[in-house]
Structure 1
């Protein structure tokens, strides 16, 4: 089953065309009964199987938990109109629910700041505008994990982003065989780059970041096909500005850690530049956080007029500080997803 979550177009085509699981056949399941003091297992049939969800099955209800700076479904911006892309949200939520329909062991790629070792060179690579090594699809080697074809465990073919979610298929020696949500096919990844998630994990908190229209939406699962809108707010995503500023990468990621104050450095320096409050990291050095506080200031800043305008961050997603705190307290680590669209 294909699992592609790269861009809005790919997401839309994939979700509409091939990502929803086909209708399942009625399957036989073991049924236990008592017979002369013995437990006898017979084969019975489930009375029905639920069909996979589609975009039209997803019901969204506004029940805000955070109600400051709330955006309307459509709102003016300069000489145009921006809007919340609810059709993409519904398709994505249907995908997220369907992918959890079967019992799956979930994993997340992890290599923040190359903590698990620099990934080996792929077969074909290039240097991007930041002068960093990247695969032919533009995924940088730094902070990424190597992906090997099952037929070749010597040289990887491409890189997988830190924070990317995948299904665990099997373990083969020092490799896990995985099926990434955001990358097509099955791949081998060295064990040290993969974190296994608990069997009980369910993804009931989802955060959508729109890097085109510069806003952020949080939703919480209520019941099958039903989600509650918890906030709709202006945000500011990453700006492509070499050699330091990078876009917030498109895709689906897992919130991996939180920092009440994420300290950052001045560009091109080892000196502290300040801190970002209530930071939730989802891929590489990308955090959802509040308004940055630059040295020598120490007090938090609630809001900035730049929120909801144009990209200007360093890969991160800036929010009003109180909204960043809401996400920080509301979205559990290793159980919440971030979907970046445009």
Structure 2
């Protein structure tokens, strides 16, 4: 059942009615307005909409529950109350009596649109930054083409060693908060900087066993790194056509593809869940990456090193970080659809994976087929991209 129907049902069950005007007028100042449309500057050619969210701009309730009021005041009449994690379409942010409120849109029992207000202290805002996503793709394209035009070789980092037992993980971090684990140790004027695995870069020069590289995501240039950390597989094409862009702050993503006329188009977008620091996990790394491999199924282990469950359609982008479908523990398989719905409902809210980027299964299946272009080896769990697919995380 769609969220809008659930909201309408919740209002109907409570037998609540909406009043057109608050009892007391409240003075408020408009701080921001939110448009529920994709900007005209972003070219759109949607190829998959199975996992499209209902709203492009929304707030989700982060308290146990929260009231929607007729106006932006705690003294205004309560219209309805919603539980934790409910997503509500947001229209505006206003300030009233030095407090911030969000104007949200609901539907009454007859399906009519009704507006109300919710305190900003009880919710978190999420929105799609399509223009910024689009700009990131163009920025990477320009960097690779510019470096290639100067005669510099394009490569990526390859330092990942699988560690399924999660043993001896290095938590040392550089000034950017990037950990040593799974990444390449580089230096700049004697300072250690860690370059995330599968980061894209160009080679500035070579000296013995050292390579001096330029990366788009790190300001210091060139960085000195061991030759052993460099890979030429997959071969980097400056004229790549496919990119997956992840917004960590808003827990969502946009998929871009260059058309036959050389124009980048948004072909899909959806909500996701990203990594957080934990006993077994890391934050999802920021940067510009290239996809080296995919898996039909990706197993994972618990804190006791026991096989715990499986996630479908895993696309590796950095270290042990994959974009994959909703993970299901083995004991959850007996009621798989229920647990899929429960877990998918948390997408687009807060981080919570071990490093990976979680998608709904319907969307990750689309991505898997898009990355492989249908060219797969049915006898193998591991697959290779049909062409360069870049992953941008910001």
Provide TM-score, normalisation by structure 2.
0.60
Counterpart of 1:98 in structure 2 is: 142
Paired with 1:114 and 1:145, the residues of 2 have a C-alpha distance of 15
Aligned length: 264
Aligned residue for 2:127?
A: 83
- In structure 1, distance between residues paired with 2:261 and 2:55: 24
| Distance in 1, Cα, partners of 2:212 & 2:345 | 46
What corresponds to 1:195 in structure 2?
231
> Secondary structure of 2:194's partner?
strand
Query: 1:113 is matched with which residue?
Result: 161
> What is the aligned counterpart of 1:220 among 257, 266, 273?
257
Query: Please, which moves more after superposition, 215-224 or 270-279?
Result: 215-224
Q: CA deviation at 1:81?
A: 5.1
Q: Summarize the Cα distance change of 1:114–1:237 in structure 2 as closer, same or farther, 3 Å threshold.
A: closer
Question: How far apart are residue 91 of structure 1 and its match?
Answer: 2.2
Deviation at 1:140, TM superposition (A): 1.5
For structure 2, list consecutive stretches of 5 or more residues without a partner in the other structure. 1-39, 61-122, 164-168, 373-384
Q: 1:141-175 deviations in whole A, cap 9, x for unaligned?
A: 221112134x77xxx72221112111022332222
Residue-by-residue CA offset, 1:208-235 (whole Å, 9 max, x unaligned):
1122222111010126762111111111
Q: Distance in 2 between matches of 1:114 and 1:258?
A: 14
Counterpart in the other structure of 1:325: 365
1:281 aligns with 2:263: no
Which runs of 5 or more residues in structure 1 are unaligned? Answer: 1-57, 116-129
Does the aligned pair in 2 maintain the 1:59–1:225 contact within 8 Å? no
User: CA shift at 1:244, angstroms?
Assistant: 2.5
Aligned counterparts of 1:68 and 1:114: Cα–Cα separation in 2: 33
Aligned residue number for residue 348 of structure 2: 308
Aligned in 2, Cα 1:269/1:199: closer, same or farther, shift over 3 Å? closer
SS across alignment from 2:366: helix
What does the per-residue CA deviation read over 1:98-136, in whole Å, with 9 as the maximum and x for residues that have no partner?
113332421111111379xxxxxxxxxxxxxx8722233
Could you tell me which residue of structure 2 aligns to residue 63 of structure 1? 45
For the pair 1:250 / 2:232, whether they are aligned, the reply is no
RMSD: 2.7
Q: 2:183 aligns with which of 128, 144, 153?
A: 144
- Partner residue, 2:66: none
Rounded to whole Å, the distance in 2 between the matches of 1:273 and 1:320 is 19
Q: Give the Cα–Cα distance (whole angstroms) in 2 for the partners of residues 199 and 218 of structure 1.
A: 19
- In the alignment, the residues of structure 2 paired with residue 282 and residue 180 of structure 1 have an alpha-carbon distance, to the nearest angstrom, of 16
Per-residue deviation, 1:261: 0.7
CA 1:108 to 1:67, structure 2 compared with 1: closer, same or farther past 3 Å? same
For residues 237 and 199 of structure 1, do their structure 2 counterparts lie closer, same or farther at Cα, with a shift above 3 Å needed? Answer: closer
Q: Structure 2 CA distance, aligned partners of 1:72 and 1:169?
A: 46
2:74 aligned with 1:74? no
TM-score by length of 1: 0.69
Aligned pair in 2 of structure 1 residues 229, 199: CA closer, same or farther (>3 Å)? closer
Distance in structure 2 (CA, Å) of the matches to 1:323 and 1:74: 17
Deviation, structure 1 residue 292: 0.3
Question: Is 2:274–2:351's contact at 8 Å kept on the other side of the alignment?
Answer: yes
